[in-house]
Amino acid sequence: MTDTVKLFTDGACKGNPGPGGWGALLVCKGVEMELWGGAVNTTNNRMELMGTIRGLEKLKRRCDVLLVTDSQYVMKGTNEWIANWKKRGWKTVTKEPVKNADLWQLLDEQCNRHNVIWKWVRGHIGYLGNERADQLANRGVDELLCYKQK
């Protein structure tokens, strides 16, 4: 029997590119775990991907995961685009390199470790788990900027 985990993820960026942060909130059997981090020079899309990757990486055994995100980019990329990118050797339909291919490959590995069900929610409308993931992503940026100033 596998555990069921709710994973809420988000990314944030102050400028695009610019300093960014990612956040993930894992909830299983009433227990919560918050994760966050950041990068000095990044994009919002990279941070959205990182929140999802880091959340899935934290799970040490196969789980049923309800992955809740406000990122169409991450959800569509995983569910609609990635299979063809892999077939084309990580090239787009126009034969250009896939942006963020390094992170897409990591996310693909993590998704294959679990049974992931995706749920998209509109961001910033009060959906509690999504709002908390957003706060964690912004915490990642804020801590990065705080340390950078010292």
Q: Which residues are annotated as a binding site for Mg(2+)?
A: 10, 48, 70, 134
Catalytic residue of the set 23, 48, 51, 77: 48
Binding-site residue set: 10, 48, 70, 134
Catalytic residue of the set 10, 21, 37, 114: 10
143 flagged as catalytic? no
Query: φ, ψ for residue 113 (rounded to 5)?
Result: -80, -15
70 flagged as catalytic? yes
CA 74 to chain centre: 7
134 flagged as catalytic? yes
Catalytic residue of the set 55, 77, 134, 140: 134
48 flagged as catalytic? yes
Longest CA pairwise span in the chain (Å): 48
Catalytic residue of the set 15, 32, 89, 124: 124
64 flagged as catalytic? no
Pairwise CA distance, residues 9 & 51, whole Å? 5
Catalytic residue of the set 20, 37, 70, 114: 70
Pairwise CA distance, residues 41 & 63, whole Å? 33
The amino acid at 37: G
Instruction: Tell me which residues are annotated as active site.
Output: 10-11, 48, 70, 124, 134
